[in-house]
Amino acid sequence: MAVMNVNPTRMQMSKLKKQLQTARRGHKMLKDKRDELMRQFIELVQENKRLREKVEKALVESSAHFVNASAVMSKQALDSSLMSSQQQTGVDISYKNIMSVDVPIFSEVNESPDQGNIFPYGFAFTSFELDDAVLSLNGLLPDMIRLAEIEKSCELMAAEIERTRRRVNSLEHVMIPRYEETIKYIAMKLEENDRSSRTRLMKVKDMLLEKAHHYSEH
């Protein structure tokens, strides 16, 4: 691990020790954040799997209803029955914060609260198979909206997990070891300087004694 290019002084070592403490605290906080993100991400993935299986199964059943309806109704009659919708449905988007990630919340918004408006046709010239198809799709809509919400949340959280993982690895394998190696290097340099200073002082003392008293302490 490369040592930082710093002056080997006690002041610099004290500064680096404080930075090392900060890096270790940041490393722990980021690890905790990563672990919590992973926990919530796994929960969302499990819900996503369950909900996707439910939606796909319901879509197959709804398609079967439409196939049955097309078998007993002409294409022209079927198309005209579904041409003019009486109910407009939208999606309201808000956000909530999960571990610094703003994930979306999708809410279904219906302009008309009357459930009867889901049928864009009269019942005189249509089949009950078409009614079943429309009802099944209408009942499926909340699950589809929730599924879209979960999948978008998973995408955002996965990106944040990856960013956090990189930061944790950078601190754990690069920054913290570099601080430790630099502090160790400075400590060794300071110890060498202390030994050199003591040696010089002893030599100066010997020289002064020799000069003043013609005496050496050896």
pLDDT tens-place string over residues 103-156: 999 988 776 555 556 666 655 556 667 777 777 877 788 899 999 999 999 999
- Contact (Cβ atoms closer than 8 angstroms) between residue 37 and residue 157: yes
What pLDDT sits at residue 218?
47
Count Cβ atoms below 10 Å from residue 142 Cβ, excluding itself.
12
pTM beyond 0.95, yes or no: no
pLDDT tens, residue by residue, 70-105: 777 777 766 666 666 666 777 899 999 988 899 999
CATH code of 10-161, in short, is 1.10.287.3240
The number of CA neighbours under 13 Å toward the Cβ of 27 is 16
110 forms bridges with which residues in the sheet?
A: 89
The domain limits of the chain are 10-161
**What letters, b where the CB count within 10 A reaches 16 and e where it falls short, cover 28-67?**
eebbebbeebeebbeebeeebeebeeeeeebeeebeebbe
* Integer Cα distance of 110 and 115 in angstroms: 10
Q: How far apart are CA 19 and CA 179, in angstroms?
A: 8
Banded model confidence at residue 67, pLDDT cuts 50, 70, 90:
confident
Mean confidence (pLDDT) of the chain: 83
